[in-house]
Protein backbone atom coordinates (compact mmCIF):
# COMPACT_ATOMS: atom_id res chain seq x y z
CA UNK A 1 0.00 0.00 0.00
CA UNK A 2 2.82 2.38 0.93
CA UNK A 3 4.62 1.61 -2.30
CA UNK A 4 1.52 2.41 -4.37
CA UNK A 5 1.07 5.75 -2.64
CA UNK A 6 4.70 6.57 -3.27
CA UNK A 7 4.37 5.73 -6.98
CA UNK A 8 1.22 7.84 -7.33
CA UNK A 9 3.02 10.75 -5.66
CA UNK A 10 5.97 10.47 -8.03
CA UNK A 11 3.70 10.31 -11.09
CA UNK A 12 1.63 13.25 -9.89
CA UNK A 13 4.79 15.24 -9.16
CA UNK A 14 6.17 14.49 -12.62
CA UNK A 15 2.93 15.62 -14.23
CA UNK A 16 3.00 18.81 -12.19
CA UNK A 17 6.62 19.48 -13.21
CA UNK A 18 5.80 18.72 -16.83
CA UNK A 19 2.88 21.16 -16.83
CA UNK A 20 5.08 23.79 -15.17
CA UNK A 21 7.86 23.21 -17.69
CA UNK A 22 5.39 23.33 -20.57
CA UNK A 23 3.86 26.57 -19.28
CA UNK A 24 7.30 28.17 -18.93
CA UNK A 25 8.32 27.14 -22.45
CA UNK A 26 4.99 28.29 -23.87
CA UNK A 27 5.31 31.69 -22.16
CA UNK A 28 8.86 32.15 -23.40
CA UNK A 29 7.85 31.10 -26.92
CA UNK A 30 5.02 33.64 -26.95
CA UNK A 31 7.37 36.36 -25.77
CA UNK A 32 9.95 35.51 -28.42
CA UNK A 33 7.28 35.26 -31.12
CA UNK A 34 5.95 38.73 -30.31
CA UNK A 35 9.48 40.12 -30.22
CA UNK A 36 10.44 38.54 -33.54
CA UNK A 37 7.26 39.79 -35.20
CA UNK A 38 8.10 43.27 -33.94
CA UNK A 39 11.58 43.28 -35.45
CA UNK A 40 10.90 40.91 -38.32
CA UNK A 41 10.38 43.60 -40.93
CA UNK A 42 13.59 45.46 -40.12
CA UNK A 43 16.38 44.77 -42.64
CA UNK A 44 19.47 44.79 -40.46
CA UNK A 45 22.33 42.31 -40.15
CA UNK A 46 22.55 42.57 -36.37
CA UNK A 47 18.81 42.05 -35.95
CA UNK A 48 19.04 38.92 -38.09
CA UNK A 49 21.88 37.66 -35.89
CA UNK A 50 19.75 38.45 -32.85
CA UNK A 51 16.86 36.36 -34.17
CA UNK A 52 19.12 33.44 -35.05
CA UNK A 53 20.72 33.52 -31.62
CA UNK A 54 17.34 33.45 -29.86
CA UNK A 55 16.23 30.50 -31.96
CA UNK A 56 19.41 28.59 -31.16
CA UNK A 57 19.03 29.39 -27.47
CA UNK A 58 15.53 27.85 -27.37
CA UNK A 59 16.76 24.73 -29.16
CA UNK A 60 19.72 24.19 -26.83
CA UNK A 61 18.35 25.19 -23.42
CA UNK A 62 15.32 24.13 -21.38
CA UNK A 63 16.50 25.82 -18.20
CA UNK A 64 14.33 28.86 -17.61
CA UNK A 65 16.87 30.90 -15.65
CA UNK A 66 19.69 30.26 -18.13
CA UNK A 67 17.43 30.98 -21.10
CA UNK A 68 16.20 34.17 -19.49
CA UNK A 69 19.77 35.29 -18.80
CA UNK A 70 20.89 34.47 -22.34
CA UNK A 71 18.02 36.43 -23.83
CA UNK A 72 18.66 39.36 -21.51
CA UNK A 73 22.35 39.42 -22.46
CA UNK A 74 21.57 39.33 -26.17
CA UNK A 75 19.01 42.12 -25.86
CA UNK A 76 21.39 44.23 -23.76
CA UNK A 77 24.28 43.79 -26.18
CA UNK A 78 22.01 44.48 -29.13
CA UNK A 79 20.70 47.65 -27.49
CA UNK A 80 24.21 48.90 -26.71
CA UNK A 81 25.28 48.50 -30.31
CA UNK A 82 22.16 50.15 -31.69
CA UNK A 83 22.94 53.37 -29.83
CA UNK A 84 26.66 53.50 -30.59
CA UNK A 85 27.84 56.26 -32.88
CA UNK A 86 30.87 56.24 -35.12
CA UNK A 87 32.69 59.57 -35.62
CA UNK A 88 32.72 60.40 -39.32
CA UNK A 89 36.09 62.12 -38.78
CA UNK A 90 37.56 58.67 -38.10
CA UNK A 91 37.02 57.60 -41.74
CA UNK A 92 40.05 58.14 -43.90
CA UNK A 93 38.41 56.91 -47.09
CA UNK A 94 35.08 55.71 -48.43
CA UNK A 95 35.29 52.36 -46.62
CA UNK A 96 33.39 52.67 -43.35
CA UNK A 97 34.28 50.29 -40.50
CA UNK A 98 32.04 47.31 -39.69
CA UNK A 99 30.49 49.32 -36.86
CA UNK A 100 28.59 51.23 -39.53
CA UNK A 101 26.33 48.19 -39.88
CA UNK A 102 25.21 48.78 -36.30
CA UNK A 103 24.09 52.35 -36.82
CA UNK A 104 23.59 54.69 -39.79
CA UNK A 105 26.86 56.41 -40.63
CA UNK A 106 27.49 59.16 -43.13
CA UNK A 107 30.39 58.19 -45.38
CA UNK A 108 32.48 61.28 -46.06
CA UNK A 109 33.26 62.06 -49.70
CA UNK A 110 36.89 63.14 -49.66
CA UNK A 111 36.57 64.96 -52.97
CA UNK A 112 33.81 67.18 -51.57
CA UNK A 113 35.14 67.80 -48.07
CA UNK A 114 37.96 70.30 -48.43
CA UNK A 115 40.02 71.93 -45.73
CA UNK A 116 38.71 75.46 -45.33
CA UNK A 117 41.41 77.97 -46.27
CA UNK A 118 41.81 81.72 -45.93
CA UNK A 119 43.62 83.95 -48.37
CA UNK A 120 47.20 84.07 -47.03
CA UNK A 121 47.68 87.71 -48.07
CA UNK A 122 45.59 90.56 -49.44
CA UNK A 123 46.11 91.13 -53.14
CA UNK A 124 45.23 90.04 -56.67
CA UNK A 125 46.54 87.16 -58.75
CA UNK A 126 49.16 88.26 -61.26
CA UNK A 127 50.04 84.78 -62.48
CA UNK A 128 47.67 81.82 -62.23
CA UNK A 129 48.23 78.08 -61.96
CA UNK A 130 49.14 76.30 -65.21
CA UNK A 131 51.50 76.59 -68.17
CA UNK A 132 53.06 80.01 -68.63
CA UNK A 133 56.11 81.87 -69.92
CA UNK A 134 58.35 82.45 -66.90
CA UNK A 135 58.81 86.22 -66.45
CA UNK A 136 62.52 85.85 -65.69
CA UNK A 137 63.78 82.87 -67.71
CA UNK A 138 61.30 83.45 -70.58
CA UNK A 139 60.82 79.70 -70.86
CA UNK A 140 57.44 77.99 -71.04
CA UNK A 141 57.02 76.03 -67.83
CA UNK A 142 54.33 74.70 -65.58
CA UNK A 143 53.50 77.22 -62.87
CA UNK A 144 52.69 75.06 -59.86
CA UNK A 145 50.93 77.75 -57.84
CA UNK A 146 49.65 81.30 -58.01
CA UNK A 147 51.49 84.61 -57.63
CA UNK A 148 49.68 87.21 -55.54
CA UNK A 149 50.70 90.86 -55.78
CA UNK A 150 51.49 92.44 -52.42
CA UNK A 151 53.35 95.35 -50.88
CA UNK A 152 56.67 94.77 -49.19
CA UNK A 153 56.15 93.87 -45.56
CA UNK A 154 52.48 92.84 -45.94
CA UNK A 155 51.58 90.19 -43.39
CA UNK A 156 51.34 86.63 -44.74
CA UNK A 157 49.23 84.21 -42.68
CA UNK A 158 48.79 80.46 -42.70
CA UNK A 159 45.87 79.58 -44.98
CA UNK A 160 44.66 76.86 -42.57
CA UNK A 161 45.55 75.27 -39.27
CA UNK A 162 48.47 72.88 -39.33
CA UNK A 163 52.09 72.36 -38.39
CA UNK A 164 55.11 74.08 -39.93
CA UNK A 165 56.97 71.31 -41.72
CA UNK A 166 59.91 73.36 -42.97
CA UNK A 167 61.27 76.87 -43.24
CA UNK A 168 64.24 77.74 -45.40
CA UNK A 169 65.77 79.81 -48.17
CA UNK A 170 67.08 78.96 -51.62
CA UNK A 171 68.00 80.72 -54.84
CA UNK A 172 64.71 80.07 -56.59
CA UNK A 173 62.05 80.37 -53.82
CA UNK A 174 63.88 82.84 -51.64
CA UNK A 175 62.67 82.62 -48.05
CA UNK A 176 59.86 80.09 -47.83
CA UNK A 177 57.56 78.24 -45.42
CA UNK A 178 55.93 74.81 -45.85
CA UNK A 179 52.90 73.92 -43.68
CA UNK A 180 51.33 70.49 -43.32
CA UNK A 181 47.53 70.32 -42.89
CA UNK A 182 44.87 67.64 -42.48
CA UNK A 183 43.59 65.42 -45.31
CA UNK A 184 46.96 65.13 -47.06
CA UNK A 185 47.31 68.85 -47.79
CA UNK A 186 50.39 71.06 -47.70
CA UNK A 187 50.74 74.75 -48.48
CA UNK A 188 53.86 76.57 -49.68
CA UNK A 189 54.67 80.26 -49.28
CA UNK A 190 57.67 81.68 -51.19
CA UNK A 191 59.55 84.96 -51.85
CA UNK A 192 59.06 86.13 -48.25
CA UNK A 193 61.15 89.01 -46.95
CA UNK A 194 60.98 87.62 -43.42
CA UNK A 195 60.01 84.32 -41.83
CA UNK A 196 58.09 84.52 -38.54
CA UNK A 197 57.67 80.83 -37.62
CA UNK A 198 59.95 77.88 -36.90
CA UNK A 199 59.94 74.19 -37.79
CA UNK A 200 57.28 72.08 -36.00
CA UNK A 201 55.36 75.15 -34.80
CA UNK A 202 51.59 74.72 -34.62
CA UNK A 203 49.64 77.36 -36.53
CA UNK A 204 46.01 78.24 -37.14
CA UNK A 205 44.35 80.06 -40.03
CA UNK A 206 45.35 83.46 -38.67
CA UNK A 207 48.96 82.86 -37.64
CA UNK A 208 51.49 85.33 -39.00
CA UNK A 209 54.08 83.18 -40.76
CA UNK A 210 56.05 85.87 -42.61
CA UNK A 211 56.15 89.13 -44.54
CA UNK A 212 55.75 89.57 -48.28
CA UNK A 213 58.91 90.26 -50.26
CA UNK A 214 60.84 89.54 -53.45
CA UNK A 215 63.56 87.14 -52.32
CA UNK A 216 64.63 84.41 -54.71
CA UNK A 217 63.75 84.42 -58.42
CA UNK A 218 61.07 87.13 -58.47
CA UNK A 219 60.46 90.21 -60.62
CA UNK A 220 58.69 92.13 -57.86
CA UNK A 221 57.13 91.87 -54.45
CA UNK A 222 54.63 89.01 -54.44
CA UNK A 223 53.65 85.84 -52.62
CA UNK A 224 54.06 82.59 -54.51
CA UNK A 225 51.43 80.25 -53.02
CA UNK A 226 51.14 76.53 -53.74
CA UNK A 227 48.84 73.74 -52.55
CA UNK A 228 49.73 70.06 -52.71
CA UNK A 229 47.25 67.23 -52.18
CA UNK A 230 48.87 63.89 -51.36
CA UNK A 231 52.12 65.10 -52.89
CA UNK A 232 50.60 66.41 -56.13
CA UNK A 233 50.26 70.09 -56.97
CA UNK A 234 46.68 71.29 -57.42
CA UNK A 235 45.20 74.63 -58.39
CA UNK A 236 45.15 76.78 -55.23
CA UNK A 237 42.00 78.50 -56.50
CA UNK A 238 40.11 75.34 -55.55
CA UNK A 239 40.73 76.42 -51.96
CA UNK A 240 41.13 80.22 -51.97
CA UNK A 241 39.41 83.02 -53.86
CA UNK A 242 41.27 86.00 -55.29
CA UNK A 243 40.51 88.62 -57.88
CA UNK A 244 42.66 88.48 -61.01
CA UNK A 245 44.75 91.35 -62.29
CA UNK A 246 43.26 92.74 -65.53
Total Cβ atoms within 10 A of residue 144: 17
DSSP code of residue 161: S
Contact call for residues 179 and 157 (beta carbons, < 8 A): no
231 vs 43 pLDDT, higher one: 231
pLDDT for the residue 225: 96
Distance of CA 56 to the CA centre of its chain: 38
Confidence of residue 99 (pLDDT cuts 50, 70, 90): very low
Q: Do the Cβ atoms of 214 and 224 come closer than 8 Å?
A: no
Q: Which residue has the higher pLDDT, 24 or 213?
A: 213
Q: Is the pLDDT of residue 86 over 90?
A: no
Q: What is the pLDDT of residues 171-183, one digit of tens each?
A: 999 999 999 999 9
Query: What do you get for the CA distance between the two ends of the chain, in Å?
Result: 122
pLDDT score recorded for residue 105: 31
Return d(Cα 114, Cα 228) in angstroms, integer.
13
| 124-244 CATH, one of 2.70.70.10, 1.10.3720.10, 3.30.465.10, 1.20.58.2030 | 2.70.70.10
pLDDT in tens, 11-62: 556 666 667 777 787 788 777 777 766 666 555 555 555 556 555 555 544 4
Please name every residue paired with 169 in a beta bridge, in sequence order, or none if there are none.
175
Q: Of all residues in the chain, what percent carry a pLDDT higher than 70? A: 60
Span 149-166, mean pLDDT? 97
Three-class DSSP category at 179: strand
- Helices 45-60 & 64-82, crossing angle to 10 degrees? 170
Q: Where are the domains of the chain?
A: 2-82, 124-244
| φ, ψ dihedrals at 51, nearest 5° | -65, -45
CA–CA dist 20, 14 (Å, integer): 10
Amino acid sequence: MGKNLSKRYVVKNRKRNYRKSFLIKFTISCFILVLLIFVGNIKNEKIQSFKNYIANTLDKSTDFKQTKNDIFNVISGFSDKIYKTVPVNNFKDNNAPMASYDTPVKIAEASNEKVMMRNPVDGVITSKYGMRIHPVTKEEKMHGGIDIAADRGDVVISAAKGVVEKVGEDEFNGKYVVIKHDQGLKTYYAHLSEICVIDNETVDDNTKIGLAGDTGLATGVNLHFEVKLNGERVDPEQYVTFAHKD
